[in-house]
Amino acid sequence: MTSSRPGPRRVRLASLLAALALAAPLAAAPGSPAAADDALPAQVTLTATEVAEDTLTISGTVTNTGTVPLSQVSVSLWRSPELLHSPQAVRNALVATTTTDGTATVVEAGNRERIAVDAATLDPGDSLPFTVTGTLDALGLRAADTTWWAGVDATARSDRRGVRDVGSARTLVTHSTEPVPVATVVELSAPPRQLKKDLFLDDTLAEEVTTGRLADLLAAIEEHGTSWVVDPSLVAELEDMADGYRVRTPEGSDAGTAADAAAAWLGRLRALPAARGGVQLFGTPDLAGLAALRDPTVPVAITAATDAEALDGLPRLAVVEHPDAPTFDLAADLADTVVALDSDAPYDRVRAGDADAVGATTDPQPTVGSALLPDTSLNRDAARTALARAAGSQVHWVRSPDELDSLPDTLPTGLRRATLPEVVALPATEWTPPPARTPSAVALDGDRLGRVVDLRDRMTAYAAAAPASGVGEFVEAQTARATSRWWVDDPAAQDAWLAGIERRVALTEGSMVTLDASPRFSMAGATSEFPVTVTNRLQDPVRVRVVASTDNPQRIRLLPPDPVEIAAGASSTVLLPAESAGGGVVVARVHVQTPDGHRLTPDREIVVETTNFGTIGWVIVIVSGVVLVVTTAQRIRQVRGQRKGEDG
């Protein structure tokens, strides 16, 4: 007789069938759209996701893209409980071809919505909306402050076939216990244009502050309340423009026309809230290029110029792009905080050794457009939110009005507007910058550095020789500006700017100040003096000293005269005292230098002969003396005409 009780074999079979029944929904839900049939007859589009407190809600539409009606259309919430917690995990997800493992198993009534039931159909070309929801705990999404894959799977019956998968969609959902701070920072800087006090290479800045880029950026800061960072070099140039200036022309110079506009722009800048502001290093320097050169000249000038011109009370920032270890170290030496643009740092607030840094991006909208994440506003917002949450914050660095125009008016859910100081105050994560690498383009290579160092030396000499010219006020500033990041992509503009400075204020040894004297003179007696002629070919008065020595000072010694001041374009005769201790012939070397010792002319050799006749006499032939009066008057007229053209 056959027993009615199930035996062991029947028990095992029943258990197997039950397990298969429970697994059926999961088996019917592919891990990603890419894993599904390419000929699926429906397109699923996600239009909204929301994580509110403990509930996930996803909305969208199902469109029949096939040729036959679909019936019994149903949409189920799909999710993957595996965490996308780190920045790298999120970045990997943005380019992934498959999701992490997940399920569309229905555990709550809201997890599934039937959008075409009974006799209703979804005809070809038609769409129907859906909304599915579920509590995070029931869905298995129990971690806080993280990101997951989520989406929906759609099933339907078509063409007398059974219910089957007809489409799916995936996106990223982020759960944050607190909104993530997001700061937009507008950089106010421009290519250097100032050649010297009151003289500019061109009038580019006039256009920028009236109707151009700087006018638009300042207006955007005022309108949107963004954070801002200003280059003190720009402020110094506009201050010089505001009290009147001239612009270089081929014939000389013309009066600038934007003094009032410069003053107005500066007034609006100073009215901005300091709590949202910062000052970057003078000249917006290319620190990557400087770090590769390992020369201290320009960094010293940057520090000096920043100290002299920085706005009081604002934090000092060093802005670097893709920093390696040497660049980061240099930036940390020059500023309180390093801003690492588009860096390899995984988090937005990092610390390398004793140096603090904040990461920033020039493109806050991550690139999406994979098979899993089509390029939609929903997925762009989802990617931005996920990256900001993983990094702890987000800083968007803006240099042009177009970059501001591309930003959405509102932030995605889970993000909040913040200031740059707020982000800087967040806790930092330890980070090791990448090893040294060669920059693809720099503002200064070895040759250009040599040119800048030489120009710095010439300007220093000019300032010492002509203290009233005001050149000394700009030595550090122009040295710092020579390495501006603005020159990296425009070396021709850098050459034009440097050439303008060299033309106006450079002092080439032996060409701007000259020395004339007889090649030989005779001296009879123990003491005497002989004249030399110094000519000033500069456009500014100079103060110089004539220095002389002999190859036998025990026999003849030449004493240094007092410094003399020589008008622009004029010549002056300087008498050199001489003392003789005996007869004979010696060779004297004479040159002109600044009072602080900077040489302006090469040595001129003069043969000195002494006798013991008891009288003092000099036989002097000075080549320039014959025409001294005529040449001096002519040069004065030339220089005065040139100064009128150059500086007004």
Q: Each residue of 481-535: pLDDT tens digit?
A: 999 999 999 999 999 999 999 887 755 555 778 999 999 988 878 888 889 999 9
Long-range contacts of 495-503 (CB under 8 A, 24+ apart): 496/201, 497/191, 497/192, 497/193, 497/195, 497/201, 498/451, 498/452, 498/455, 500/195, 500/201, 500/248, 501/195, 501/196, 501/455, 501/459, 502/455, 502/458
pLDDT at 329: 95
Nearest to 560 by CA among 517, 584, 590: 590
Same fold, 23-175 and 513-638: yes
Residue 29, pLDDT > 70, answer no
Q: What is the pLDDT of residues 46-81, one digit of tens each?
A: 999 999 889 999 999 999 999 999 999 999 999 999
pLDDT at residue 536 tops 80? yes
Average pLDDT, the chain: 87
User: Mean pLDDT across the stretch 269-282?
Assistant: 97
- pLDDT > 60? residue 587: yes
What digits encode the pLDDT tens for the residues 288-321? 999 999 999 999 999 999 999 988 889 999 999 9
| pLDDT exceeds 90 at position 32 | no
Topology (CATH level 3) of domain 23-175: Immunoglobulin-like (2.60.40)
Which structure tokens are listed for 526? 């123990």
What's the CA gap between 224 and 229, in Å, rounded?
15
pLDDT value for 353: 86
Cross-strand pairs, 575 = 531
Boundaries of every domain in the chain: 23-175, 181-198+225-237+276-430, 446-505, 513-638
CATH topology for 513-638? Answer: Immunoglobulin-like (2.60.40)
pLDDT for the residue numbered 74: 96
Q: What is the pLDDT of residues 350-402, one digit of tens each?
A: 999 888 899 999 887 788 989 899 999 999 999 999 999 999 999 999 999 98
Query: pTM score, two decimals?
Result: 0.81
pLDDT band at 620 (very low <50, low <70, confident <90, very high): very low
Look at residue 431 and tell me whether its pLDDT is greater than 60.
yes
Give the residue-averaged pLDDT of 140-162.
91
346: pLDDT confidence band, cut at 50, 70 and 90? Answer: confident
**Average pLDDT rounded to a whole number, residues 546-561:** 91
